[in-house]
Amino acid sequence: MDLKIAGKRALVTGSSSGIGITLAQMLAAEGAEVVVHGRDTARTRKTADSIRREGGIAHEVIGDIAEEEAAIAVAEAVNRLGGIDILVNNVGGRDGGFAHTSWFGVPAKSWINTYKQNTVGAVSLIDRLVPPMIERGWGRVINISSAIAIHQPPRHADYQSAKAALVNLTRSLSKSLAGTGVTANVISVGIILNSASEPEIAKTAAALGYQGPWRQHERDIVMKIFGQTVARVGQTSDIGAPVCFLASPQADFITGAHLVVDGGIA
């Protein structure tokens, strides 16, 4: 299927690592002109260079969008490049990382910082990059949330709440964009294999007594431990495919949707 996004301009936040790299690369492979974003200049350039080596067009912007001033600077840099048609809010994470697993004892400051990182940064960019889409009569906002927002395990409550807010605000945004030609959708992502998650999967497997490489026990781990109904771990391309589709004119009739891509976690 021709997704008809060749020549469209897309910003993928957090595309210097993890899922974001694949999202940027897959959009570029479909012919989109991609703005790669990250906080680290070298990693951001590495993603952009990988796109350029494949014949794609890529630009780079740097900044920590959790901070409003930096988010404004990123938006201004994007507008100087000619603006965008597609905004993929992929940045996420948890203040202090995920080592602290208890629901209790998370400082209020960490709740605030986690919310800023996952939600406020996305809002800052939406506020500055979507109005020009409205003026042009076409655009796409795709927010990347997490399946943890709907499954609510008894840990990482600050991260759960921030990602749940992203789901909620996407629906509200879609209503505010009625009749403009701009759509807003959200994807909640399950357990996806990447350089950050693989060591955690291996650690979980070892802690549960699985011997040898975790890949030998992949079916058991994802179905019995993670509760999936799909018998393999998720790949970054499993998220890239729906992002590319929702970014395309083929998805004109989809807005306000919440797509859960988690391998069927119970």
pLDDT of the residue at 100: 64
Instruction: Using alpha carbons only, give the angle 187, 86, 37 rounded to the nearest 5 degrees.
Output: 85
Q: Count of H helices and E strands in the chain?
A: 10, 7
160 and 210 in a single domain? The answer is no
**Does 21 have pLDDT greater than 70?**
yes
251 and 127 in a single domain? The answer is yes
**pLDDT tens track for 156-194:** 788 899 999 999 999 999 999 999 999 999 999 999 998
Lowest mean pLDDT: which of 33-37, 105-109, 137-141?
105-109
The percent of residues above 70 in pLDDT, for the chain, comes to: 98
110 and 60 in a single domain? The answer is yes
Give whole-number Cα distances, 34 to 49, 95, 122, in Å: 11, 28, 17
70 and 169 in a single domain? The answer is yes
67 and 116 in a single domain? The answer is yes
Q: Which domain holds residue 202?
A: 193-233
**Residue 1 covered by a domain:** no
For residue 191, what are its two tokens? 């357990």
105 and 155 in a single domain? The answer is yes
Residue tagged 């291996």 (tokens): 202
153 and 185 in a single domain? The answer is yes
pLDDT of the residue at 204: 87
Mean pLDDT, rounded, for 84-101: 83
CA distance 157 to 162: 9
**CATH number of 53's domain:** 3.40.50.720
151 and 210 in a single domain? The answer is no
What pLDDT band is residue 195 in, cutting at 50, 70 and 90? confident
By CB neighbour count within 10 A (0-12 exposed, 13-18 middle, 19+ buried), where does 193 fall? middle
Mean pLDDT, rounded, for 225-244: 96
pLDDT of the residue at 169: 97
**Residue 254 covered by a domain:** yes
- Phi/psi of residue 85, each to 5°? -105, -25
pLDDT of the residue at 157: 85
What pLDDT band is residue 228 in, cutting at 50, 70 and 90? very high
pLDDT of the residue at 99: 63
Q: Which residue would you say has higher pLDDT here, 175 or 98? A: 175
Half-sphere exposure at residue 128, Cβ-oriented, CA atoms within 13 angstroms? 21
Number of domains in the chain: 2
Lowest mean pLDDT: which of 9-13, 25-29, 97-101, 152-156?
97-101
**Residue 4 covered by a domain:** no
CA distance 154 to 13: 28
E strand residue ranges, 115-213: 139-146, 182-189
**Residue 14 covered by a domain:** yes
Give whole-number Cα distances, 252 to 89, 181, 184, 246, in Å: 19, 8, 10, 8
Mean pLDDT, rounded, for 227-240: 96
Half-sphere exposure at residue 41, Cβ-oriented, CA atoms within 13 angstroms? 0
205 and 126 in a single domain? The answer is no
Residue tagged 């399950």 (tokens): 190
CA distance 95 to 121: 14
What pLDDT band is residue 76 in, cutting at 50, 70 and 90? very high
**pLDDT tens track for 133-161:** 999 999 999 999 999 888 877 777 888 99
CB 4 within 8 A of CB 249: yes
159 and 210 in a single domain? The answer is no
**Residue 266 covered by a domain:** no
250 and 205 in a single domain? The answer is no
For residue 183, what are its two tokens? 């759509």
197 and 253 in a single domain? The answer is no
What pLDDT band is residue 98 in, cutting at 50, 70 and 90? low
